Chain A
Amino acid sequence: MRTGPFSNKKVVELLNAYYVPVYISNEDFRGKGGAPAEERKELHRIFQEGHKAKLSVGTVHAYILSPEGRTVDSLHVAEAAKVERFIAMLEANARKFEVPAGKPVVKPVPQSTVAEKAPEGSLVLHLVARSISGGGWGGVPGENWIVYAREEVGKFLPSGKAAVGTTWEIDKRAATKLLTHFYPETENNDVSKNRIDEISLKATVVSIDRGTVTARLEGRLKMKHPFYHKDEDRFVNATMVGFIEFDSGNRSVKSFRLVTDKATYGTGAFAVAVRSVD
């Protein structure tokens, strides 16, 4: 939907001018997901009303609710993904409820952001993973925001004083927290299903300038990552290079960059870029 209707100019205009658009992730509504009980109750009610009205009802759907919040229309994602079909539903319901065109009810803002405000002293990394040739779905790249608390940041740094040529292996747990997201866009995004067979991220100091230490990063990863939510032997094989800059005095990280120079997933190829965000 994101690469289809939700990237279509006409759909964007219709949603902003006539609707209150909302999306939810089913993960938040299952088991220990984060959706509050009242929110779950609302979703259940919407489904029940859809059933009563003999509409298409399911977990991956587009629903239209009346201005009073009643379920009045729906499309299964396979239909909603057809741009003309989705536009027809939006136009029909805007007419039905005689909605005058207006400004968006909520100001559009970037949707991919770090989940919570990171505490002071944290290291926030933004990761982009995109398919090159058959590595993943294609379309839009996958993104992740990885936050290292102040006490974790030190795990990227050498234990003692750094001089040009000093080399160290970055703590495996800290490296895993980042590299476990090194895979292209796949249906399975449960990183607990990954199995890391080989991981290494090594740093070597290349320069020291007025207390700022710059170290080159070189890494490799071999990781089993099922494409779907069923077990399969599909592997990420990647090598990467980058730089970390840190203050030798207060041991804060000033900048972090890491990119794959070679990365395959199954028989396809993909690319990853990681950067620190202020």
Chain B
Amino acid sequence: MRSVLGLPALSFVIALAVSVAADRPKNDADLPAWVEKTVIERQPTAAERRFDEIGWLTDIREAIRLAKEHKRPVMLFTHDGRMAIGRC
């Protein structure tokens, strides 16, 4: 899952780096809001979830069955790790 970042993506990463590295507040009273905001900021973005816009299957036999039914070819990607959760 190596990436080759273009400039727009790089700008995004830099902006993101600023937000994810934001300092913890010194005042304990501000901590709950900061934790909540930080959890939200660190979630995968729509751009990072574009992969979800593909109508994926994860079973080869089912893919072939549907390929025959719909007279479409199959694109099978085989990989190490878990692409769906970015752990690969």
Contacts and interface: CB of A to CB of B under 8 A. Distances in A.
Most buried by B among A9, A257, A258: A257
Q: What is the size category of the interface that chain A forms with chain B?
A: 35 or more
Contacts of A79: none
Interface residues of B, number: 63
Interface in A51-102: 59-69, 72, 77, 80-81, 90, 93-94, 97, 99, 102
Contact of B68 (A42, A68, A104): A68
Given A59-B80, A112-B85, A269 B71 contact: no
A69 B64 contact: yes
A176 interface: no
A105 interface: yes
Most buried by A among B23, B47, B49: B49
A273 interface: yes
A272 interface: yes
A265 interface: no
Contacts of A128: 42-44
A26 B78 contact: yes
B32 A243 contact: yes
A23 B64 contact: no
Contact of B80 (A25, A133, A145, A275): A25
Contacts of A145: 85
A39 to B, nearest CB: 6
21 contacts: A6-B54, A15-B75, A21-B56, A22-B59, A23-B83, A26-B79, A27-B80, A46-B76, A63-B76, A67-B70, A67-B71, A77-B79, A80-B77, A109-B52, A111-B52, A133-B17, A140-B1, A140-B44, A187-B80, A242-B35, A259-B42
Interface of B: 1-5, 13, 16-17, 20-21, 23-24, 28, 31-32, 35-36, 38-39, 41-44, 47-64, 66-68, 70-88
Given A43-B78, A111-B84, A130-B16, 14 more contacts: A20-B72, A21-B55, A21-B77, A22-B63, A25-B80, A65-B74, A99-B71, A108-B54, A109-B52, A111-B56, A142-B85, A143-B86, A185-B86, A187-B81
